[in-house]
Amino acid sequence: MSHFSKIKTELSDAECLKKALKDLGYQIKENSIVRGFGSLSTRADVVVTMPNGYDIGFRKRGDFFELVADLWGLSIDKDDFLNEVTQRYAMHVVIDKAMAEGFQIVNEEELEDGSIRIVCEREVEHQEKSAVQA
């Protein structure tokens, strides 16, 4: 019997996912093994290696990633973890899209309520500024 649980996410961009995990201080491996209880394991596209031997994986399923982990031994709260990753992921999606459209990132800051404010600008005939909060 497998101990591994699968949780659907709305995360679709592998590069933004990897950037988000690295921002949060996690060590990652690509196309690697997710360790669980005993000798149980499974493969995932992006793996967060955890010191207690119970890793967290993200496996691409269709257009989106699913989180895969042995939740019995996970040393962190899966909901808090996924919320943090999703917020940082959204920040990287916004930054990547803004830069693709010719904007420069002027400032980014974490606000007291935990949200992230990103200020972008683009030089055109007149200067446009845009602020986005994730």
Distance, in Å, from the CA atom of 86 to the CA atom of 95, rounded to the nearest integer, reads 14
pLDDT of residue 122: 84
> Does 130 score more than 80 pLDDT?
no
Average pLDDT of span 100-127: 85
Note whether 83 and 93 are within 8 A (CB). Answer: no
- pLDDT, one tens digit per residue, over 60-87 is 999 999 999 999 888 899 999 999 999 9
Whole-angstrom distance, CA of residue 14 vs CA of residue 73: 25
The Cα 67–Cα 7 span in angstroms is: 5
Which amino acid, one-letter code, is at 84? E
Residue 93 confidence (pLDDT): 96
Please tell me the number of Cα atoms within 13 Å of 16 on its side-chain side.
19
pLDDT at 38: 87
Q: Give pLDDT, residue 75.
A: 84
